[in-house]
Amino acid sequence: MKKATSLRLSDDMVRKISARARAHRRTITNQVEEYITVAMEVEDNPDLPYSFIRETIEAREEIKAGLGKPYKFGVLR
């Protein structure tokens, strides 16, 4: 369940987030949630590169959407 809260952001930050949100076809709220999710993962995994973390988050969502295929170890085809 989502809970409403308010954040105080500078006008410049809001403009930047709004532009990125439009580019990714997200709401400003969803864009902020995306940034927070990635930031938390980066803090939890400081030894991993940002690109690996982003790809892992995307892969998790693909699995949830039923797009994943099981990998058979040791089998080459």
Asked, for residue 50, whether it belongs to a domain, the answer is: yes
**Number of domains composing the chain:** 1
Q: Quick check: is 55 in a domain?
A: yes
- In a domain, residue 20? The reply is yes
Give the CA distances from residue 20 to residues 40, 41, 71, in Å, rounded to whole numbers and listed in that order. Answer: 19, 20, 35
Could you give the percent of the chain with pLDDT greater than 90?
81
Q: Would 4 be classed as within a structural domain?
A: no
Is the residue at 32 inside a domain?
yes
Q: Report the pLDDT value the prediction gives residue 66, as an integer from 0 to 100.
A: 92
Q: In this model, does residue 43 exceed pLDDT 90? A: yes
Cβ-contact 30, 21 below 8 angstroms: yes
Domain that holds residue 29: 11-64
Residue 16, pLDDT score: 97
pLDDT given for residue 29 in this prediction: 95
pLDDT score, position 75: 67
72 found inside a domain: no
Residue whose structure tokens are 């995306």? 34
The pTM score is 0.73
Residue 7 has which token pair?
């954040």
